[in-house]
C-alpha cells in the first residue's frame, strides 16, 4: 500500500476529533463558503461529467466520506493526470451540494480520477482508497455520518471490477489477521458499476490544494506524503 493503514487510522481519528457531523445549519454555512470560493451559495443544478476518459487515459471513481481529503490524496499520485469531486450513485439529476448533504438524493460524495495506466496501475489507486478510508464503517467516515458519506468503489470496466474484488478479499483477510485495522471487522464499502457522476460546485474542486477553509494551501505535488488536513 502507498500509505500504511496506521497512517490512515491516525488521519481518520485526528479528522474525527476536529470535525462534527454536518447538519442543515452546516450545509447553509457551506453555501456561504461557496460564495467566498466562487460559488453562488444557491442550490444550482450540477453538470453531468463525461462517461469516458480522453483518448489514452482511463477513469477511476471512489467514494470515501468528505471528498476534499480523498481528492488531494489522488492529486498526489504519479500517473493521475486530473481529479474532480462530485456526486454519484443517486437518483436525482443535477443534484446540488445542499441536496446531497440532506441525504434525500441518494448520492454519495465521490472523487473521479483520470489516469494514465502506463504510469499507475488501478491496483495502486485502490491502495490509496484503502489507505485513506475506513471501509468497515457503514454510511460513515470519522464523524461524517449519512448515506452521502458512504464509501464505495465504482468500476468502469470488468478489469477494474476484478481488481477491486481481489483487493477487497485481501483487505478482508488482513482484517481477520489484524494486519489491517478498521473500526469494524468486515469490509462494507460498496462495489458497483460507475454511474452518472455530477461535477460538484466549483468551490469544492481541488479545495484543499487551493487553501481550504483556513487559506493554507496543501501540496498536491506528485509523491507528496505530507499529512492531509481535512479542512485545510
Residues assigned a catalytic role: 66
Q: What interhelical angle do 158-177 and 122-132 show, nearest 10? A: 40
Q: Which three cell numbers stand for residue 34?
A: 461557496
The CA angle 59-167-175, to the nearest 5 degrees, is 140
Q: What is the DSSP letter of 217?
A: -
- Give the residue from 214, 193, 211 showing the smallest Cα distance to 203: 211
Q: Are 61 and 196 in contact (CB under 8 A)?
A: no
Ramachandran angles phi, psi of 197, nearest 5°: -130, 115
Can you list the positions of beta strands (E) in 123-225? 140-141, 144-145, 151-155, 190-193, 197-199
As a 3-state breakdown, the chain gives helix, strand, coil percent values, each rounded to 5, of 35, 20, 50
CA gap 203, 39 in Å, rounded = 6
CA gap 28, 155 in Å, rounded = 33
Q: Which three cell numbers stand for residue 171?
A: 483487505
Give the count of beta carbons closer than 10 Å to the beta carbon of residue 175. Answer: 19
Amino acid at each position: 500500500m502507498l500509505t500504511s493503514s496506521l497512517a490512515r487510522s491516525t488521519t481518520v481519528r485526528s479528522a474525527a476529533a476536529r470535525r462534527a457531523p454536518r447538519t442543515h445549519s452546516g450545509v447553509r454555512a457551506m453555501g456561504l463558503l461557496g460564495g467566498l470560493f466562487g460559488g453562488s451559495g444557491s442550490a444550482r443544478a450540477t453538470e453531468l461529467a463525461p462517461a469516458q476518459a480522453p483518448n489514452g487515459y482511463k477513469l477511476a471513481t471512489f467514494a470515501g466520506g468528505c471528498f476534499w481529503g480523498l481528492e488531494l490524496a489522488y492529486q498526489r499520485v504519479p500517473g493521475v493526470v486530473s481529479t474532480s469531486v462530485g456526486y454519484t450513485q443517486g437518483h436525482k439529476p443535477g443534484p446540488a451540494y445542499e441536496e446531497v448533504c440532506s441525504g434525500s438524493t441518494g448520492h454519495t460524495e465521490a472523487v473521479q480520477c483520470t489516469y494514465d495506466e502506463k504510469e499507475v496501475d488501478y491496483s495502486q489507486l485502490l491502495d490509496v482508497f484503502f489507505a485513506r478510508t475506513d471501509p468497515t464503517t457503514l454510511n460513515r467516515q470519522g464523524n461524517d455520518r449519512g448515506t452521502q458519506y458512504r464509501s464505495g468503489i465504482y468500476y468502469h470496466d470488468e478489469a477494474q471490477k476484478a481488481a477491486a474484488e481481489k483487493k477487497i478479499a485481501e483487505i478482508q483477510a488482513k482484517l481477520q489477521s489484524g494486519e489491517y485495522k478498521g473500526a469494524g471487522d468486515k469490509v462494507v464499502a460498496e462495489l458497483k458499476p460507475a454511474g452518472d457522476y455530477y461535477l460538484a460546485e466549483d468551490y469544492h474542486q481541488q479545495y484543499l490544494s487551493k487553501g481550504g477553509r483556513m487559506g493554507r494551501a496543501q501540496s498536491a505535488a506528485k509523491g507528496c506524503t505530507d499529512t492531509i488536513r481535512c479542512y485545510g
